[in-house]
Structure 1
């Protein structure tokens, strides 16, 4: 009986040991089956670019007041207009910073409490405001509870955009009008661009005076064949000649 019990205990011990060994083997297989992946991060370098109108960066106010309109971007143009309207007695809310304006860049409120939605477009002269911009402004002014709407651009509007503006009573300032208003304001004093002047070489023409033997000056004459010669100016008193 005792031997039988010992036999059973031995079987149980062996089964336990075999299970432990198999478990260790499975763990080793799992650990060796894992692949370690390394992710390489690429370092992106931000390089300085040349001036572009679509940039959302904005220089200091004192710099903008000395910068021509063709040297500022969209965000700076909005900021310059906000400074102008504040000095005209408006309460100004800048809602279009960062380019996410939804059709309105500034909301200005006059002394009577009337709100105007302002859309600013800083374009080059050849790039005119399209009709879609007018439609966006008309729809967006309601979102800001504005009664009036104003489009201000450094360039101009297309013919279709002007008709659309007149139809929906959208006031607009083109580039020439904007510059006149800013100059009349007095605080905007852009640096004058130097104009290179071409130096024109002065040419001096030397006149040759031929003196006759009699002391009188000689003048150019022509014979019957059309050939030029020098003849005395006292002709016919003096008939002296000289070849050219």
Structure 2
């Protein structure tokens, strides 16, 4: 009889010990999971670093041609330009998270302008959606005015939208002219060798009465297929063309 009682008591003690040990394992598992989450959040919150390879130093940027810059570098160049021209500049679009606005510039009167910068190749133009985003986003920064600065140009619908909502815009030729007049931007001059016949050279000097969008006169030229077209006389600063 005593042996049976001892056996029952032993089973009961084992059950109690097992119940005590099992929750402790669960707690360890939960703790291990919690320690992993902060590491994930920390890596996800890593901010954009201007000293990284996506944006070179100011000294380097001031020597780069526009077509050799990244979007972040073009924004930085504009920041330096506006500051030297008396504006207070806030870089709100660092790393591409602009929400429609890259820079907020404030003049001496306290008037704020929302700036959207687009560093595009010649064949890429600013679309109408960019204009609409800027118009909507400028209110988030308490800006009265808005400006699009692009190394290329705007599409026809984008120009129409910009004129309708009073959005100012600088196209590639104007941007190049303003930056060169500033004096601090000194891109390396690239010499392009071209072979043209005497007839083609005479055609290129034929000035038409048509003006380019940058204000310079258009001149007659010939493409590789021999077809004539009008090109801006300030080429390669301005690359605008028109069909004859």
TM range (shorter): 0.5 to 0.7
The answer as to whether partners of 1:153 and 1:175 remain within 8 angstroms in 2 is: yes
Indicate how the Cα distance of structure 1 residues 88 and 102 shifts in structure 2: closer, same or farther if over 3 A, else same: same
The Cα offsets for residues 173-223 of structure 1, whole Å up to 9 and x where unpaired, read as 00111011100110000012243577xxxxxxxxxxxxxxxxxxxxxxxxx
**Is residue 2:88 matched to residue 1:60?**
no
Please name the residue that 2:4 is paired with: 11
Q: Kindly indicate which of the two structures has a greater share of residues assigned to helix.
A: 2
TM (norm. structure 1) is 0.61
Q: Distance in 2 between matches of 1:60 and 1:136?
A: 29
2:188 to 191, 213, 218: 191
Please name the residue that 2:139 is paired with: 142
1:118 to 115, 118, 124: 115
TM (norm. structure 2) is 0.61
Aligned residues: 163
Indicate how the Cα distance of structure 1 residues 186 and 14 shifts in structure 2: closer, same or farther if over 3 A, else same: closer
Indicate how the Cα distance of structure 1 residues 115 and 22 shifts in structure 2: closer, same or farther if over 3 A, else same: closer
Indicate how the Cα distance of structure 1 residues 196 and 117 shifts in structure 2: closer, same or farther if over 3 A, else same: same
**C-alpha RMSD over aligned residues:** 2.6
The Cα offsets for residues 30-66 of structure 1, whole Å up to 9 and x where unpaired, read as 9xxxxxxxxxxxxxxxxxxxxxxxx982110000000
The Cα offsets for residues 110-152 of structure 1, whole Å up to 9 and x where unpaired, read as 1121111111011111110000100111111111111111000
Any gaps of 5 or more consecutive residues in structure 1? 1-7, 31-54, 199-244
